[in-house]
Amino acid sequence: MKKLLISCFVLLSWAGQAQMDSTNETIRSIYNLALSEQQGYKWLAELCSMGPRLSGSDQATASLLHFRKIIDSLGFETSLQPVTVPKWERGPQEKAWIVREGIKSEELAVCALGGSVATPEDGLEGELVEITNFNQLDSLDLKGKIAFYNIPMDPTFISTGYAYGNAVKQRWAGAIEASKRGASAVVIRSLSSSVNKYPHTGSMSYEDGVTKIPAAALSTYHAELLSRELAKNPALKLKLNMACQWYDSVESYNLIADLKGSEKPEQLILVSGHFDSWDLGTGAHDDGAGSMHALESLYLYQKLGLAHKRTLRLVFYMNEEFGLSGAKAYAKMSKEKSLQHVIAIESDGGGFSPRGFSIQSSKEMVAAVKNYRDYFEPYGIYQFARGGSGADISQLGSDDKVLIGLRPDGHRYFEVHHSALDNIKSVNARELTMGSAALTALMYLLDRDDICLNCD
């Protein structure tokens, strides 16, 4: 009996090792193909060559339709979901100057925040009040003045995403709070983790019943310069001129593509990114990289002939930047059709080297995904943590599905985020490709091992 038990143990150990070896070989084949071809980077370069994809713009729709043709040529089943999106343009002019004794001197690098109203045609001029903490607002006289929010991202936070989240209030709520106190306009310090001369845009908001005032972002370099000049001369003025404009909402689309499953085609594993971008750059990292991660993962699946029980679904969401219109429309359609999304994955952290995944699900599912860590560590992926997954897929809800976000290295992300630096030159082909391979490998494991809720 003792010999029999030992034999059984040896056989089980051998079988377990054999499966691990086979899995490692499959994952290695994914990385080999991805790194050899770097197809996702080629597609990203093609996407960026078509220009920025501001939600509601003709370029955004034209780029989406172009990529539908590419995906159709790969043999996937594609469809377009109509989505009503806002339309805003920054216009031909964005200027700001320091004004001393009625004379314009230094010109500052500035851009309108997304959704801002314009200044009067000949510009707007006013004294500046520097704000370094929101708690100062009630003690400051802002009537008729320009509020200057100078709240940097905290460099001591290890997570740049956390630093961004702690500083972003000045962008989305700054105009509201300043207007309530009588300010004529708002300029904010760009949400960048470095000091440079490139302003960073991003969405801002207004509140019903509160006067809408122009809102702009200064480059971090010029925010620091302005702060120094104000310390020397508190009566310093700023002249701001912006010609941004709102239009009626327009129709655009989400792009959906499916690779049918062999055993449970009604169950969906969704992999996605948002297709729209800001207009200062070409959205290479935000979120062209995430969109190409999603597309390349299905391409790798198909080219390698990897078995999958469930239908793999790609979604390019439209209008994440201006209010998640595409994600909300997709979630609404999903509910109406009772679609079975068992796993949803999003990439919206840029095309830098992948470091791990954040998992939004039950403790049991999080633990199950963490068990894959040994497979990924050889590829530099070691962060498996319970946490938020992504703004777009979160619209689907999380009670009956596993939501996962790809987490690239974030140290350089906010140097380029929402700025003219977010272009193809800022993306390394190898780093981007590693993200696509990581998503493919994770999807393969999750589907093979039925790591999902309500998979029956």
Q: What's the CA gap between 173 and 163, in Å, rounded?
A: 17
Under a CB-based contact definition with an 8 Å cutoff, are residues 299 and 259 in contact?
Answer: no
pLDDT of the residue at 2: 52
343 and 328 belong to one structural domain: yes
> Could you tell me whether strands 215-218 and 185-189 are parallel, antiparallel, or unpaired per DSSP bridges?
parallel
**294 lies in the same domain as 421:** yes
Count the neighbouring beta carbons within 10 Å of the beta carbon of residue 75: 10
| 240: Cβ contacts below 8 Å, ≥ 6 apart | 95, 96, 110, 119, 123, 124, 125, 146, 185, 187, 214, 216
Residue 68 lies in a domain: yes
- The tally of domains found in the chain comes to 2
Q: Which residues contact 271 (CB under 8 A, 6 or more apart)?
A: 293, 294, 297, 298, 312, 313, 314, 315, 345, 346, 347, 439, 443
Environment class of 21 (CB within 10 Å of its CB; exposed 0-12, middle 13-18, buried 19+) = exposed
Give strand pairing partners of 257.
78, 314
**In this structure, is residue 374 part of a structural domain?**
yes
Backbone angles phi, psi at 226, to 5 degrees: -65, -40
Whole-angstrom distance, CA of residue 362 vs CA of residue 350: 26
The CATH number of the domain holding residue 361 is 3.40.630.10
Among 344, 370, 325, CA closest to 268: 344
In a domain, 414, yes or no: yes
* Same-domain pairing of 360 and 413: yes
- Residues 147, 230 within the same domain: yes
Q: Which parts of the chain register pLDDT below 70?
A: 1-16
Range of the domain at 216: 91-243
Structural domain includes residue 434: yes
Domain boundary among 199, 225, 243: 243
Ordered strands of the 402-408 beta sheet: 77-89, 245-259, 310-317, 264-274, 340-346, 402-408, 354-360, 383-386
Residue pair 321/86 in contact by the 8 Å Cβ criterion? no
Q: Does residue 287 sit in the same domain as residue 145?
A: no
pLDDT recorded at residue 69: 98
Looking at residue 15, its pLDDT comes to 54
Decide if 15 is inside a domain: no
The whole-angstrom distance between residue 315's C-alpha and the CA centroid of its chain comes to 14
Among residues 243, 277, 310, the one where a domain terminates is 243
Query: Model's pTM, two decimal places?
Result: 0.94
Pairwise CA distance, residues 270 & 317, whole Å: 12
Per the DSSP assignment, residues forming a β-bridge with 10 are none
On whether both 328 and 431 belong to a single domain, the answer is yes
What φ, ψ does residue 46 adopt, rounded to 5°? -65, -40
Q: Mark whether 252 and 175 lie in a shared domain.
A: no
DSSP string, 320-335: TTTT-HHHHHHHHHHH
CATH number of the domain residue 232 falls in: 3.50.30.30
291 and 422 belong to one structural domain: yes
The length of the chain is 456
Give yes or no: residues 59 and 110 share one domain. Answer: no
**2 Cβ contact partners less than 8 Å away, ≥ 6 residues apart:** none
Cα gap 271→315, rounded to integer Å: 7
What pLDDT was estimated at residue 1? Answer: 58
151 lies in a domain?
yes
- Helix, strand, or coil here: 354? strand
Co-location of 189 and 81 in the same domain = no
pLDDT of residue 399: 84
Based on the fold, state whether residues 213 and 263 are members of the same structural domain. no
Asked if residue 454 belongs to a domain, the reply is: no
**What's 117's DSSP letter?**
P
The helix/strand/coil state of 303 is: helix
The rounded Cα 252 to chain-centroid distance in angstroms is 19
**Residue 42 and residue 64 in one domain:** yes
Q: Which of 198, 228, 243 is the last residue of a domain?
A: 243
135 occurs within a structural domain = yes
